[in-house]
Structure 1
Amino acid sequence: MPAVIVDCAIYRGGRRTDGPADFSDALAAARAEGDAFLWLGLHEATEHEFALVSSEFGLHPLAVEDALHAHQRPKLEVYDDSLFVVLKPVTYEPRGDTVSTGELMVFIGDSFVVTVRHGEGAPLSAVRRRLEAEPEVLAHGPTSVLYAVSDAIVDHYVEVADELQLDLEELEEEVFSPDAGSSTPTAARIYDFKRQVLEFRRATGPLAAPMARLAGAGVPFVHEHAQPFFRDVNDHLLHVNEQVEGLDRLLTDILSAHLAQMGVRQNDDMRKISAWAAMAAVPTMVAGIYGMNFRHMPELTYVWAYPAVIALMAVTVFGLHRQFKRRGWL
């Protein structure tokens, strides 16, 4: 069990204090004091390991099932003895333009907070240190932990959205540059970038409803004075969602414009091919007529017939070339 426990601490009056090493004894000690709470952090606990925690903290079986099996949507569930929140931290790798998501479950109940993390993203050590440096915030109890975790994740959403915006601007310049080719890899890159934005959207979009509920009144186990803090988080999240929607629409427009450019370039190529084929058809036709080897052909008896035919072909081809040039086909 200690392998999956990242940290276990009792907080009294907003400050971390020493307590029993066993989380069961620590929870009993926190509840005995009234103004204290236990924060237990877990990382990828197995079903057997988490069963010890759920039985001790009285967690709902449905919430436990969601916490054990990842791939949940961001949501907020209210049970009789606890509040269950699912968050999806996001990491972005600029070199590969790759968005990856983890999962973070938060249980809040009577004098306790249990955080369950899946994946390597969003370690909570920095959030814990920041909270411990602000005892006036931590003094609000388990609600302060939920706020700090949500705020950290949404703030990172803002950073990822800004990075995606910069990369999209670079992609846009590449697509619309005069030297941009009509190759398939460009369209594939746009489509892959759109998939990454969609992955990001799956993390940010569903979180809007839970944040709106936390920003309102009447949510159990949430401190009544925490509403302005959650409203601030919700405002940042709405800004991110608007930015993500804009990125998705712009990517669709860029992909459509790129495909239109490819069509225009192909039409230009077809016009050029048609123009050269038309100019080549004239001498081919004349040569075909004289290649029939008929005995009675009027031009065969004329001395200037051969030069005249060659001149006729040259003048005709030159005239076609000027005509196609004037129309922009060549």
Structure 2
Amino acid sequence: MLINCVAYQDGQKLDDIPVEEISDYIQRPETFVWVALRDAKPDELAVMKEEFGLHELAVEDASRGHQRPKIEEYGDSLFVVVKTIECRDGEVAVGEVDIFVGQDYILSSRDGETQQGFLGVRARAEKEPHMLRLGPAFVLYALMDAVVDRYFPVLDMLETELEKIEELIFSRGKQRDNIERLYELKGKVTTVRHVVVPLMEAVGRLHGGRVPSMCQDTQEYFRDVHDHLHRISASLDTIRDTIATAIQVNLSMTAIEESEVNKRLAAWAAIFAICTAFAGVWGMNFKFMPELEWKYGYPFALTVMVSVCLYLYRRFKKAGWL
């Protein structure tokens, strides 16, 4: 579905134009066309391929979708795939934006999973005509910068969720729930990392070293995007390390609780074992047992057993086993 199709000349907006006139405008000097699509169908991409002369392999990748974040060069044009991530009811939703960039055009196509559009990006770019004069490369930067900026709220959500789990680590009886939540959080972090790391590697090609000709004048802007991605990647690594540590602490707390239970069971078992031992001896009923016919033999036996049990109870209590 076509969102908008706008022609710009020397950093100024000319007009919203029909798709059929794209080829006429891109032939003008210092003019480029910015087209935005959503859920582009094969026939729409075929029309854009005809108007802009897009490479067939890039169009094929955009048609299939589910691409890894990447930047590919096809002659004087670029094909860029960036992943969007958004928070929805505590979950991480991943979308995709495919961007075709040439000397006189830029075409973006986002899928339905990406609920946030880029109208704000266009409005911001149009307020900076001195930057729009840099052409499609600046628009590419503006789109990538907007996508990357939307990663930060997701990162904040992951950090907040981790902090909540950490507060419950030392709560008794919740170790299993904590482990499940930590592994669920680890899965979310892995999903975000699979979005960020490949894009960071790809953006690194747009500044320093051999840079595509159209990006020569915008290297410092792509360096800024790369720095943001590097910060996000470092934060994700920190979260992953903290999760690993939290899991180990949680397992240790579980082991400690089990040890405490085992000590209590062992202490009570020792106490009852004494009673069993005394009862076993006095219950043999041998003929010549000294206490067998003694008037106070039964109370004496009970007193001895109770006294020994109380003594053991106090010793175990003092040792912290009970």
Task: Give the TM-score category using the shorter length.
Answer: over 0.9
- Tell me if the contact between 2:103 and 2:214 (Cα under 8 Å) persists in the aligned partners: no
Query: Which of the residues 264, 278, 283 maps onto 1:272?
Result: 264
**Could you tell me how far apart the structure 1 residues matched to 2:16 and 2:321 are?**
84
Deviations 1:60-81 (A, max 9, x none): 2221222122222111100124
Q: Is the counterpart of residue 76 in structure 1 residue 68 in structure 2?
A: no
Scaled by the length of structure 1, what TM-score is found? Answer: 0.91
The answer for the alignment partner of 1:171 in structure 2 is 165
**Could you tell me how far apart the structure 1 residues matched to 2:47 and 2:241 are?**
47
Counterparts in 2 of 1:43-58, with a 5 A limit? 43-58=38-53
The answer for the alignment partner of 1:137 in structure 2 is 131
The answer for the alignment partner of 1:30 in structure 2 is 25
Letter in 2 for 1:70: G
**Cα drift, residue 48 of structure 1:** 3.0
The answer for the alignment partner of 1:89 in structure 2 is 84
Letter in 1 for 2:246: I
**Could you tell me how far apart the structure 2 residues matched to 1:209 and 1:327 are?**
58
**Cα drift, residue 292 of structure 1:** 4.7
Query: Which of the residues 100, 106, 109 maps onto 1:113?
Result: 106
Counterparts in 2 of 1:268-307, with a 5 A limit? 268-292=260-284, 297-307=289-299
Query: Which of the residues 132, 148, 154 maps onto 2:148?
Result: 154
The answer for the alignment partner of 2:319 in structure 1 is 327
Letter in 2 for 1:89: T
User: Once superposed, which parts of structure 1, at least 4 consecutive aligned residues long, lie more than 6 Å away?
Assistant: none
**Could you tell me how far apart the structure 1 residues matched to 2:114 and 2:101 are?**
23
**Cα drift, residue 19 of structure 1:** 4.9
**Cα drift, residue 167 of structure 1:** 2.5
**SS state at 2:291 partner:** helix
The answer for the alignment partner of 1:59 in structure 2 is 54
Letter in 2 for 1:329: W
**Cα drift, residue 149 of structure 1:** 0.8
**Could you tell me how far apart the structure 2 residues matched to 1:203 and 1:72 are?**
11
**Cα drift, residue 307 of structure 1:** 1.4
**SS state at 1:222 partner:** helix
**SS state at 1:329 partner:** coil
**Could you tell me how far apart the structure 2 residues matched to 1:184 and 1:170 are?**
15
- Tell me if the contact between 1:90 and 1:200 (Cα under 8 Å) persists in the aligned partners: yes
Deviations 1:131-154 (A, max 9, x none): 112211112110111100111112
Ranges in structure 2 where 5+ consecutive residues have no aligned partner: none
**Cα drift, residue 82 of structure 1:** 1.7
**Cα drift, residue 294 of structure 1:** 5.1
Measured at CA, do residues 224 and 183 of structure 1 come closer, stay the same or move farther in structure 2, by a change above 3 Å? closer
Measured at CA, do residues 317 and 29 of structure 1 come closer, stay the same or move farther in structure 2, by a change above 3 Å? same
- Tell me if the contact between 1:91 and 1:100 (Cα under 8 Å) persists in the aligned partners: yes
**Could you tell me how far apart the structure 2 residues matched to 1:57 and 1:129 are?**
24
Query: Which of the residues 70, 92, 101 maps onto 1:99?
Result: 92
**Could you tell me how far apart the structure 2 residues matched to 1:19 and 1:182 are?**
59
**Could you tell me how far apart the structure 1 residues matched to 2:314 and 2:199 are?**
64
Measured at CA, do residues 32 and 47 of structure 1 come closer, stay the same or move farther in structure 2, by a change above 3 Å? closer
Query: Which of the residues 184, 209, 219 maps onto 2:176?
Result: 184
* Deviation larger for 32-41 or 48-57: 48-57
**SS state at 2:198 partner:** coil
Counterparts in 2 of 1:210-221, with a 5 A limit? 210-221=202-213
Query: Which of the residues 233, 244, 251 maps onto 1:252?
Result: 244
**Cα drift, residue 30 of structure 1:** 2.2
- Tell me if the contact between 2:71 and 2:80 (Cα under 8 Å) persists in the aligned partners: yes
**Cα drift, residue 15 of structure 1:** 2.1
Scaled by the length of structure 2, what TM-score is found? Answer: 0.93
Deviations 1:65-101 (A, max 9, x none): 22122222111100124201111111124x53x2121
Q: Is the counterpart of residue 7 in structure 1 residue 4 in structure 2?
A: yes
- Tell me if the contact between 2:131 and 2:138 (Cα under 8 Å) persists in the aligned partners: yes
Letter in 1 for 2:182: I
- Tell me if the contact between 2:125 and 2:131 (Cα under 8 Å) persists in the aligned partners: yes
- CA RMSD of superposed structures (Å): 1.8
Measured at CA, do residues 267 and 255 of structure 1 come closer, stay the same or move farther in structure 2, by a change above 3 Å? same
Deviations 1:208-247 (A, max 9, x none): 1111111225433524220111111111111111011101
Identical-pair percentage: 36
* Deviation larger for 98-107 or 290-299: 290-299
Residue correspondences, number: 321
